[in-house]
Amino acid sequence: MASQPAWMNSLFTYTGSSSFSEFLGVHAPNLLPARNESLAAPVGDEIPHATTIVAATCAGGVVMAGDRRATSGNIISQRDIEKVFRTDDYSCMGIAGTASTGLELARLYRVELEHYEKTEGRSLSTEGKAHRLATMIRGNLPMAMQGLVVVPLFAAYDPSHDTGRIFSYDVGGGPYEQREFHSIGSGSIFARGSLKKLYRENSSPQDTVLACLHALYDAADDDSATGGPDVMRKIWPVVSVITADGFRRLPDDEVAEFVESMLERRMTAPEGPTAPLR
Amino acid sequence: MSIPFGGYASPEQIMRDRAEYARKGIARGRSVVVMQYADGILFVAPNPSKALHKISEIYDRIGFAAVGRYNEFESLRLAGIRYADINGYTFNRNDVTGRGLANLYAQHLGMIFTESIKSFEVEIVVAEVGEAAEDDQIYRITFDGSVFDEQGMAVIGGQAEAVGGRLKERYSEGLPLPQALDAALAALTEPGGERPPVTQIEVAVLDRGREHRKFLRLTGSRLEKLLEAAQESQGGARQPAAEEAQAEREQAEQAPDTAPPIAPEGDIDTGSGE
């Protein structure tokens, strides 16, 4: 059967590691997001970019939120793109940079974690998950050099420590573990500045969600590539909370309530809540 | 059964010998039960090992159960996971089907049966949970690559016929989970025998009510509670079955290997033909 893909012959005989992407790399490299072809010219601004993601730890877990805008240069290419993905029961990732590569990467990473879990009968450790993502980002380095940069933010609930943890990356890989909070993407500078003032250690998941939404709002306020909450179209940021109970993406109406309370506050104080000086 | 080197053996004879060899190996283990219940599909396997599973998740909606030689069905399991993951990644997650997987296994087992000196000593079940009970699928695949589309329940390995007979008596459509587990354990227990303790059984479900991945292994206190509920549901309903049990016991005594070892732990046939 010459027409069947080459990997069909390897299904029963492969004796490599429990990594799905390694299996693909050996037997079906064309399916990997990272390619080695070089582009004639850097594509840079011409393809959609995903922008700001914030994450912050809370009591017994971690919160991640992302705005919904994708831009190609000065054009808004999508208003309701989703950039925060569940990767398994206790982890999620957000992507900033080239949207297409990021989506593909998130899809592959989810299979990667599941594949390990199913073949080995146990989940990867939180560090293991973070390291695995670093290797996959590093694999994308040649493409990043051509302008297809994608950088993820990884957040997980660590059952062995009973805390939320956040890992960031650069185009060469990582991971860099972050304490308390972190943000990535074009609006990250503003979001981080905002979170610096609004973050409270060990606050409830609800309060942390509100702080993250304020941070995204501040990012959208000052960064043209980050979208604020779209009240007319009812497009709200994607918010996910991971605790010992597992991953949970807040449903739209729940996020709407948070957003409305935030907007109400901003009606009277457009710059948002202020941190006490003394 | 041994054929002198260079002698002639008819293809029928060779196939018969291989089939008999495989059947013996499979009957040596304990049975595994796969059955529908109200919210999905239940897998029950007597298995003293916590690490060497006979039941496994393959994909979002697909589970796997096997009996026979551990190394052989483990290689099938891993291949199934690779097949499902690569297809789900290439196309979409709901493009991975139990039927496709059953066909893959059937092809592979059929090829091994006809081309290798020794066929696989395994029997497997691929089960897929659907949106509704009518969409559930249970495929049983034997060592020679035959596929059987089972309705409601399947029993593989060990004294499969006897267990299947006992299960049929207790099975009905849409049993709640505790009752279904009770039926499965009753079927797996020889008449008059003791039920295996909680540490000696492996239980998993494909629960259509779960999000994302339907497969769930039931262990620890969760399983204990379920077993207690199963005991209660059993109640006094089975007293009149005593005579029946007696008859069954006599039948069972006539059958060989009444206390077979568990497949992954027990003696493994060395193929020396003793």
Kindly report, residue by residue over B225-274, the tens digit of the pLDDT. Answer: 988 888 877 654 444 444 444 544 444 444 444 333 334 444 444 444 43
On whether residue A31 sits in a domain, the answer given is no
On whether residue B271 sits in a domain, the answer given is no
CA distance linking residue A49 with residue A225, whole number of Å: 9
- CA torsion through residues A222, A227, A230, A235, sign: negative
CA distance linking residue B187 with residue B160, whole number of Å: 10
| Interface mutation target, options B64, B71, B77, B89, chain A, most CBs of A under 10 Å | B89
CATH number assigned to the domain comprising residue B124: 3.60.20.10
CB distance A219 to A228 below 8 Å? no
Residues of A with CB under 8 A from a CB of B: 7, 10-12, 14, 20, 23-24, 28, 31, 86, 107-108, 111, 114-115, 118-119, 121
On whether residue B273 sits in a domain, the answer given is no
Q: Looking at the complex, does the CB of residue B56 fall below 8 Å from at least one CB of chain A?
A: yes
Q: Which two tokens stand for residue A3?
A: 């027409």
Sheet with strand B62-68: strands edge to edge: B55-59, B62-68, B122-128, B137-141, B147-150
On whether residue A9 sits in a domain, the answer given is no
- What interface predicted TM-score (ipTM) does this complex get? 0.84
Residues 71-130 of B with CB under 8 A from A: 75-76, 78-79, 81-83, 85-86, 88-90, 104, 108
3-state secondary structure of B99: helix
Q: What is the pLDDT of residues A8-51, one digit of tens each?
A: 778 888 877 788 888 888 888 878 876 656 666 666 667 788 78
Q: Which of B156, B155, B149, B148 is nearest to B169 (CA)?
A: B155
On whether residue B6 sits in a domain, the answer given is no
Minimum distance, in Å, between the CA of residue B100 and any CA atom of chain A = 13
Q: What is the pLDDT of residues A67-99, one digit of tens each?
A: 999 998 888 989 999 999 999 999 999 999 888
A118 CB neighbours in chain B (<8 A) are 56-58, 81
CB distance A97 to A81 below 8 Å? no
CB distance B82 to A11 below 8 Å? yes
Q: Do B108 and A24 touch (CB under 8 A)?
A: no
pLDDT of chain B, 274 residues: tens digit per residue: 555 566 788 888 988 999 999 998 888 888 999 999 999 999 999 998 888 999 999 999 999 999 999 999 999 999 999 999 999 998 999 999 999 999 999 999 999 999 888 889 999 999 999 999 999 999 999 999 999 999 999 999 988 999 999 999 999 999 999 999 999 999 999 888 888 888 899 999 999 999 889 999 998 888 989 888 888 776 544 444 444 445 444 444 444 443 333 344 444 444 444 3
Range of the domain at B91: 14-21+28-254
The pTM of the full predicted model, rounded to 2 decimals, is 0.84
A15 CB neighbours in chain B (<8 A) are none
B57 CB neighbours in chain A (<8 A) are 118
B75 CB neighbours in chain A (<8 A) are 12
B74 CB neighbours in chain A (<8 A) are none
The string of DSSP codes covering chain A is -TTS-GGGGGTTT--S-S-HHHHHHHH-GGGSS---PPPSS--GGGS-EE--EEEEEETTEEEEEE---EEETTEEEESS---EEEEETTEEEEEEEEHHHHHHHHHHHHHHHHHHHHHHSSPPPHHHHHHHHHHHHHHTHHHHHTT--EEEEEEEEETTTTEEEEEEEETTEEEEEESSEEEESTTHHHHHHHHHHH--TT--HHHHHHHHHHHHHHHHHH-TTS---BTTTTB--EEEEEETTEEEEPPHHHHHHHHHHHHHHHHH-TT-------
Q: Do B86 and A14 touch (CB under 8 A)?
A: no
> Considering its fold, how many domains does chain B have in total?
1
On whether residue A134 sits in a domain, the answer given is yes
Of B56, B58, B85, the CB nearest to A20: B85
Q: What is the pLDDT of residues B211-222, one digit of tens each?
A: 889 999 998 888
B89 CB neighbours in chain A (<8 A) are 20, 24, 31, 107-108, 111
> Considering its fold, how many domains does chain A have in total?
1
Q: Looking at the complex, does the CB of residue B23 fall below 8 Å from at least one CB of chain A?
A: no
In single-letter form, the type of residue at position B225 comes to K
On whether residue B246 sits in a domain, the answer given is yes
Q: Do A23 and B82 touch (CB under 8 A)?
A: yes
List the end-to-end C-alpha distance of chain A, in Å, as a whole number.
76
On whether residue A32 sits in a domain, the answer given is no
Q: Counting beta carbons within 10 angstroms of the beta carbon of residue B122, is it exposed (0 to 12), middle (13 to 18) or buried (19 or more)?
A: buried
On whether residue B4 sits in a domain, the answer given is no
- State the average pLDDT for chain B: 84
Range of the domain at A129: 46-268
Give the active site residues of A.
51
Closest chain A CA to residue B56: A118
Residues ≥6 apart with Cβ < 8 Å to A186:
A49, A51, A52, A96, A223, A225, A226
Helix (H) or strand (E) segment spanning residue B71: helix B70-90
On whether residue B175 sits in a domain, the answer given is yes
Minimum distance, in Å, between the CA of residue A88 and any CA atom of chain B = 10
Q: How many CB pairs under 8 A join A and B?
A: 45
Q: Looking at the complex, does the CB of residue B217 fall below 8 Å from at least one CB of chain A?
A: no
Minimum distance, in Å, between the CA of residue B228 and any CA atom of chain A = 25
CA distance linking residue B74 with residue B83, whole number of Å: 14
Q: A209-223 b/e with 16+ CB inside 10 Å = b?
A: bbbbbbbbbbbbbeb
Q: Which two tokens stand for residue B113?
A: 């049966």
On whether residue B216 sits in a domain, the answer given is yes
CA R_g for chain B = 19
Minimum distance, in Å, between the CA of residue A39 and any CA atom of chain B = 24
Residues ≥6 apart with Cβ < 8 Å to A151:
A95, A96, A97, A137, A168, A169, A170, A171, A184, A185
On whether residue B150 sits in a domain, the answer given is yes
CATH number assigned to the domain comprising residue A202: 3.60.20.10
Residues ≥6 apart with Cβ < 8 Å to A37:
none
CB distance B23 to B39 below 8 Å? no
On whether residue A13 sits in a domain, the answer given is no
Minimum distance, in Å, between the CA of residue B79 and any CA atom of chain A = 5
Of B79, B81, B89, the CB nearest to A108: B89
Calculate ∠ Cα A115-A116-A119, nearest 5°: 80
